[in-house]
């Protein structure tokens, strides 16, 4: 058995647009123009280039062989990893509209991802892996389950931190070059800096280390690492699955509710092992609710949940 993944052209259209936009933004300054416009376009081009490089790095070629699985970075083929099929203990299947994603797990952590949106021969790869006889993930109640942060969320948080540094550096660079700071720079730092600082603090506040063990939940926030919250799973009255529609992918969260108020939100895009945490907590959501980001903010600020 030897099956190699083939990319789906339709699933790569957005990424190709990203690359073309990056190239255009980086080449535009060469044609001249106003200094402010050139700097703005150049900065946008650099940020798009970072996003394009991150995407290209995450794009992987997968080859299924007899009792082995090869995962190779498409743009950096010398970066590869081999797995024995016996290493995988379970799998998770997620559906997003017409697309399906197949995750292979090692000790509850997602190790390999297959998506019908990216791979043209997804069904063939999935069938080849199903021969191993893996079972869907189920959590052992006697084993502690620790949260694992998603690399994409950590990367986005780091980019926001770099943007904060960029806005702080603007007046410093201007002062070094001209000996003064213009009112325009002050306004730019005040508006852009405050906006990105807010986004950065919000992204950091979403990063909470969770440990589920024998009916208890321990929560540590990266924003306030000295503070630890302890819960018994019996403390929560019920759970809700909250879905926020998006142009790219639905943002799903598990809300744990106590006294009709949001006690803890567990966003899927923050945790790589979200499904494992959901199984370990074991509280089945009583309802699935679609909600906008602004309405979610209202309940995060302490409003009573009355639906």
**Element at 83 (helix H, strand E):** strand 80-84
Judgement on whether residues 213 and 198 belong to the same structural domain of the protein: no
Q: Does 161 reside within a domain?
A: yes
Find the mean pLDDT for residues 171-176. Answer: 59
Query: Tens digits of per-residue pLDDT, 259-303?
Result: 888 999 998 888 888 888 888 888 888 888 888 888 888 888 888
Judgement on whether residues 282 and 236 belong to the same structural domain of the protein: yes
- Looking at residue 174, what is its pLDDT? 59
The answer to whether the pTM exceeds 0.75 is no
Judgement on whether residues 130 and 45 belong to the same structural domain of the protein: yes
* CA–CA gap between residue 181 and residue 184 (Å, rounded): 8
Find the mean pLDDT for residues 68-97. Answer: 82
Residue span of the structural domain in which 156 resides: 151-204
* CA–CA gap between residue 201 and residue 164 (Å, rounded): 11
- Looking at residue 29, what is its pLDDT? 55
Query: Tens digits of per-residue pLDDT, 11-21?
Result: 566 566 666 66
Q: Does 142 reside within a domain?
A: no
DSSP codes, 238-294: EEEEEEE--SSS-EEEEEEEETTEEEEEEETTTBTTHHHHHHHH----SEEEE--HH
Which CATH number fits the domain that encloses residue 29? 2.30.29
Report the SS3 class of residue 107: coil
């Amino acid at each position: 058995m030897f099956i190699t993944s083939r990319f789906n052209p339709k699933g790569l259209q957005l990424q190709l647009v990203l690359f073309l936009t990056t190239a255009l933004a980086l080449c535009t300054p060469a044609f001249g123009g106003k200094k402010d416009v050139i700097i703005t376009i150049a900065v946008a081009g650099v940020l798009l280039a970072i996003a394009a490089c991150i995407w290209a790095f995450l794009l992987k070629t997968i080859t299924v062989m007899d009792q082995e699985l090869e995962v190779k970075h498409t743009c950096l083929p010398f970066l590869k990893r081999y797995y024995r099929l016996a290493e995988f203990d379970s799998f998770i299947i997620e559906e997003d509209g017409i697309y399906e994603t197949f995750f292979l797990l090692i000790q509850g952590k997602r190790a390999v991802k297959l998506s019908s949106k990216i791979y043209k021969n997804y069904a063939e790869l999935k069938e080849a892996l199903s021969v191993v006889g893996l079972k869907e993930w189920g959590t052992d109640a006697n084993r502690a389950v620790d949260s694992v942060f998603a690399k994409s969320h950590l990367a986005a948080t780091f980019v926001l931190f770099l943007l904060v540094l960029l806005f702080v550096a603007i007046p410093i660079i201007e002062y070094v070059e001209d000996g003064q700071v213009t009112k325009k720079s002050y306004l730019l730092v005040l508006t852009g800096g405050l906006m990105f600082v807010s986004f950065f603090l919000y992204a950091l506040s979403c990063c909470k280390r969770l440990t589920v063990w024998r009916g208890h939940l321990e929560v540590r926030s990266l924003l306030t690492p000295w503070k630890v919250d302890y819960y018994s799973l019996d403390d929560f009255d019920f759970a809700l699955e909250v879905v926020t529609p998006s142009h790219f992918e639905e943002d799903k969260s598990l809300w744990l509710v106590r006294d009709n108020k949001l006690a803890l939100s567990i966003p899927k895009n923050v945790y790589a092992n979200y499904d494992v945490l959901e199984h370990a907590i074991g509280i089945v959501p009583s309802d699935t609710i679609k909600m906008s980001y602004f309405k979610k903010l209202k309940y995060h600020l302490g409003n009573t949940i009355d639906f």
